Amino acid sequence: MASSAVLARAAALRQEIERHNHAYYVLDAPTIPDAEYDRLFRELQALEAEHPEIVTSDSPTQRVGGRPLDAFPKVRHAVAMLSIRTETDTEASGARAFDARVRKELGLSDADPQVEYNAELKFDGLAVNLRYEGGVLVAAATRGDGETGEEVTQNVRTVHAIPLRLHTDAPPEVLEVRGEVFMRRDDFERYNAKQREAGKPTLVNPRNGAAGSIRQLDPKLAAQRPLSFFAYGLGEVLGWTHAPATHSATLDALEKLGVPVCPERRVCRGADELVAFHAEIAARRDTLPFDIDGVVYKVNRFDLQRELGFVTREPRWAVAHKYPAQEQLTVVEAIEVQVGRTGALTPVARLAPVFVGGVTVTNATLHNQDEIDRKDVRVGDTVIVRRAGDVIPEVVAVVIDRRPEPAPPRFDILQSYPACPECGSHVVRLEDEAAVRCTGGLYCPAQRKQALLHFAGRRAMDIEGLGDKLVDQLVDRGLVHTPADVYGLDLETLAGLDRMAEKSAANLLAAIDASKTTTLARFIFALGIRNVGEATAKDLARHFGSLDKLIAAKEDDLMAVRDVGPIVAQSIAQFFGEPHNLDVVRKLRDAGVNWAESAGVQQSAGILTGKTLVLTGTLPTLTREAAKDKIEAAGGKVAGSVSKKTDYVVAGVEAGSKLAKAQELGVAILDEAGLLALLEPHDAPGQRTLDF
């Protein structure tokens, strides 16, 4: 049982960390350095790990994401989460028409005072309902159909801007806060830049990024996305003493409770002030840090809202006043491709210049072949082009009525670009992918930096010191074209690079030289073959024993390897079928890169075949890698998280949440001795036989 001192310290840490979270994520005014924040967070983690019984649902440590879900449970809203009417007239007359309707419904004459409204922004994200009970966030749900939404509590907890506990000592019994989860433009661009550098999929736009993040079945993926939140209203409310009488006062009260509320809001009196707000925001729309598609007007007094009521499930007291879409018509003059760092060929429409979204646009992304086919974009077509803020312009749709006669042919990337425009390697499209890709991974200039960073990685050739900044210099100066060129670098060349003294250059040369002696599995992984991860590389090395056998293998031969299916086999065959890649492999061997080879062993059922194990904590004698190798050699699979499908958890010293999860699910737990006993052959003399 935790002592009172431990409880008090944990409570103090939680309060301090959340105060810093609010300052950083909501006020944009950090109060301490990152290192000090990390120290406080680690101290709280350590306390909770030592005393699991003190963990609370509103602890900052619970923001990292829980277990993956199979599906989102449905939840019925206590108060319907209805949408508001959209004013299709995007001019000033749209605001005047709304004011006129409100005055008519209230029975006001021209001699009566102006109606007071609260004007705010209409965010482009995902509407959510946050339920606080006793001041603690207990549930979150999407709008859904207004009556029933999806329960997304785990994912919403990962949004740092949303308080897990309201900032008050006297919270309402129940307070449902409604608002929008969204992604700022700068966060969207930074996230996509990191994804591109890592060779991972990017988000299409901030709105889809926000909605897709909250609807991730794995909360840990949601936690990796930079999301923000603004409140704009309430759902069910119970026991809120001195509750505000107006909408604007409610937003002010929410802000005092620590709930983020957009500062771009104003109390307006009458139609003229609504028109002025609409025009002012329109002029600043492109400079806002987030996307909006209009503004919202709400009658400010709640008693007048109740008097006005609803019509066809829409409130008479509110309206969304949209802005004209940032779209224009132009003509597609050509379709070309750009080769990305992962080898993906992205189609780009070359456009007749058109002024849209504040700039002259001449290019627009077409994303991939599926998008071209879905929108049926052809050279010569008149198209609608959209540009919002700093988002890359895109072709929204084709105006079929303006298509030339005879109709232009359909565009097909594989037909137009059978070879990569950057390196001449073959271009392919795998069955499960939208992207068309260049197969010259080791040779293609567009993929050069990505290929080098992967090749030098710790789990690949392990060339310590060959990182991003150095790779940028080596490639940009034309010193390295393929991984084989790394082994031709000399001390004078490296010492002449920025931030590279002679000692660091010598250390890097030593690391390069040491990497020449490796394993076949590491070398296969280092080649960066699409869909071939570290485990598959080990299986391929074990099965074939030599690189030449692997290179010569047909797709049917490859599918005889454990966990290698048609798509992986196709990727491997296409990679080694590209002469440019084979040339680089030959040069690597000529440079002295070597490994031990064997006759290979055909995969047979090991003692752990079909079993999934999870490693956690520090084992007495085995490193994590050594334990993983032993498990995989016995046919088992090592997973990163514990689930109902986990067969064993191998726990060492300082085993944390994975051990607790295994105990909760009733998963068998082994120590190192238990693992080694499990790996012993069935028929070893004097040893036990395990029944699975």
Return the active site residues. Answer: 122
CA 208 to CA 202: how far, in whole Å? 11
Supply φ then ψ for residue 604, to 5 degrees. -130, 165
12, two tokens: 């103090």
Supply φ then ψ for residue 666, to 5 degrees. 75, 25
3-state secondary structure 231-294: EEEEEEEECCCCCCCEHHHHHHHHHHCCCCCCCCCEEEEHHHHHHHHHHHHHHHHHHCCCCEEE
Place of tokens 């603004």: 230
Whether residue 416 contacts residue 334, with contact meaning beta carbons closer than 8 Å, is answered with no
Place of tokens 């949440």: 657
CA 303 to CA 117: how far, in whole Å? 13
601, two tokens: 């062993």
- List the one residue out of 530, 527, 348 whose CA is nearest residue 429: 530
What pairing do the DSSP bridges indicate for beta strands 668-670 and 648-651?
Answer: parallel
Whether residue 653 contacts residue 677, with contact meaning beta carbons closer than 8 Å, is answered with no
Distances, alpha carbon 219 to alpha carbons 44, 57, 144, in Å: 21, 15, 19
CA 480 to CA 473: how far, in whole Å? 9
- List the one residue out of 297, 263, 295, 300 whose CA is nearest residue 279: 295
Mutual angle of helices 468-476 and 448-456, in 10-degree steps: 140
Q: What is the DSSP letter of 139?
A: E
CA 610 to CA 597: how far, in whole Å? 27
Q: Any residues with CB less than 8 A from the CB of 207 and at least 6 apart, and which?
A: 124, 125, 126, 182, 183, 291
Asked if residue 406 has a cis previous peptide bond (ω within 30° of 0), the answer is yes
The CA-based angle 388-89-95, given to 5 degrees, is 100
Strand pairing partners for 86? 320
Q: Any residues with CB less than 8 A from the CB of 186 and at least 6 apart, and which?
A: 289
For 143-186, strand residue ranges (E) read 148-150, 174-182
CA 179 to CA 174: how far, in whole Å? 16
Distances, alpha carbon 127 to alpha carbons 230, 401, 587, in Å: 10, 36, 56
Strand pairing partners for 344? 437
Whether residue 380 contacts residue 351, with contact meaning beta carbons closer than 8 Å, is answered with no
The alpha carbon of 70 is separated from its chain's Cα centroid by a whole number of angstroms, namely 19
Supply φ then ψ for residue 394, to 5 degrees. -140, 155
Place of tokens 């503004």: 295
Whether residue 135 contacts residue 165, with contact meaning beta carbons closer than 8 Å, is answered with yes
Dmax over CA atoms of the chain, in Å, equals: 103
- List the one residue out of 529, 519, 625, 506 whose CA is nearest residue 575: 529
Q: Is 360 exposed, middle or buried (0-12, 13-18, 19+ CB in 10 A)?
A: exposed
Whether residue 111 contacts residue 284, with contact meaning beta carbons closer than 8 Å, is answered with no
